[in-house]
A and B are shown apart, each in its own frame.
Chain A
Amino acid sequence: MKKYSVFTLARHALDRRKSWSRAWRDPSPKTSYDVVIVGGGGHGLATAYYLASEHGINNIAVVEKGWIGGGNTGRNTTIVRSNYLWDEAAHLYEKSLVLWESLSQELNFNVMFSQRGVMNLGHNLQDMRDIYRRSNANMLNGIDSEILTPQQISEIVPIMNTSPYARYPVLGASFQRRGGIARHDAVAWGFARAADKLGVDVIQNCEVTGIRRNNGKVEGVETTRGFIGARKVGVVAAGHSSVIAEMAGIRMPIESHPLQALVSEPIKPILHTVVMSNAVHGYISQSDKGELVIGAGVDSYLGYGQRGSFSTIEGNIAAIVELFPIFSRVRMLRHWGGIVDVCPDACPIISKTSVDGLYFNCGWGTGGFKATPGSGWVFAHTIARDEPHHLNAAFGIDRFVSGALINEHGAAGVAH
């Protein structure tokens, strides 16, 4: 496979006979693998990549029921940050952020990680207490974090309404400069290409219909393309985790909810950081293409439909116009829904299960995209060693029995 660089690009530009090779092969499933990863989203592909690159396991298949990156990887608002409150979450997301910082070079695929800063606004006194608590915790955890006054916010984002007469005036913000956005599709493609190069079979249009077990040990997966044997199976099928879990007779503390998002028409650069607000609910950034990418809420009911919900985005757009009055005349192009697995504590499960050789990585709620490389990295470790890395030790499924939840819901972290 050719390395991507400005030189290969130039050679292809100048020589019309040259053609690009496939970014990843289109293999048929073998009869068995050392590891089968169920789910070809960013997390699953990253898991395969790190299994191969960090743990020397190359006989791996990633099976995807549709097209890779077609789930939440390709439907989110692309925000990357690590300024989480609780130590367990902060360390995990920070690992991920560190991986993001060299991911384009690692994968030889430009994932366009833009460290333009992420701002979390505070609109009342409790917000400000929470912001101090979280920023202070970030600082002591070695994660960059600042607290901004309304004045400083205005300097960074002059188009924001920081008037004290607003319904919920902006009182301040936390700011993580190393946070930002990335090109979501590229993450799936980059991991697929890099994993493929290490021998991983990326198998699309292959839906898992059953988990074959024997004596409490996993033997492989039944798929629409036949049975595929596996010594170990890692499930990373956000949105459908419960469906797969049921195949293995496991119950999960998860509900699948539609999460709404939308984009505007592309406009010239106007917003240069990511802005998130909890009280005035919404988050917004501007893509490199110029669209305002806006996240809305989770629909309150359970749902597996990826449809847009107008009532949810109405409130969301009102919040955005309230914060950014000049966006009133911008036009909304498109809106859609993703399906997110929500855990009771808004933190993921990255864990062994009661079935030997079966591992689950799920429950990322609205915050999965930013964790993509870190999630794959710790999950690969968990699968390869059959025990969690210390970074994901707290994210076991057993925490719902012991009560040791990692309560990011109660914390100030904005849903996302």
Chain B
Amino acid sequence: MLLIRCPWCGLREQAEFSCGGEAHIVRPLKPDELTDEQWADYLFMRDNTKGWQTEQWVHSGGCRRWFNAQRDTVTYKFGISYKHTDPKPEDGD
């Protein structure tokens, strides 16, 4: 039962959010030029970090906006939440 900080709405209940997984996976601009391996890496391969990772969340039961948040995947503690337009911060805590 996490408490999650939406950069627009502040701290809210986990029930209002959905997690979108690892953040900063950029869709290739020219998929046609990729090999199958490179495309598979974008499509399926994940760091699946144990520890601090940056992930996408959406305030689905609130402002419906997506944002990035740092979270420790072991302790479930959150670091900074930030908008997509903000630069990627250093790892949390």
Contacts and interface: CB of A to CB of B under 8 A. Distances in A.
B63 to A, nearest CB: 19
A242 interface: yes
A230 interface: no
Interface string A307-328: 1011100000000000000000
Contacts of B46: 242, 251-255
Contact of A310 (B1, B21, B43, B47): B1
Interface stretch (A7-15, A46-54, A69-77, A297-305): A297-305
B45 A302 contact: no
A243 B40 contact: no
A401 B36 contact: yes
Query: For chain B, what secondary structure do more than half of its interface residues adopt (helix, strand, loop), or is it mixed?
Result: mixed
Interface of B: 1-2, 14-15, 18-19, 21-22, 36-37, 40-41, 43-50, 53, 55, 71, 73-76
Contacts, number: 66
B48 A254 contact: yes
Given A243-B50, A309-B1, A302 B76 contact: no
Query: For chain A, what secondary structure do more than half of its interface residues adopt (helix, strand, loop), or is it mixed?
Result: loop
A396 interface: no
Given A301-B55, A302-B19, A311-B14, A242 B48 contact: yes
A164 B88 CA distance: 53
Contact of A251 (B2, B41, B49, B50): B41
B75 A302 contact: no
A366 interface: no
A300 B18 contact: yes
Interface in A376-416: 400-402
A9 B40 CA distance: 56
A305 B73 CA distance: 7
B69 to A, nearest CB: 10
Interface in A215-269: 240, 242-243, 246, 251-256
A303 B76 contact: yes
Q: Which 9 A-B pairs have the closest CB atoms?
A: A242-B48, A253-B44, A301-B19, A251-B45, A401-B40, A400-B44, A304-B74, A304-B50, A401-B36
Contacts of B18: 300
Residue in B36, B44, B75 with the greatest tally of chain A CB atoms within 10 Å: B44
Contacts of B43: 400
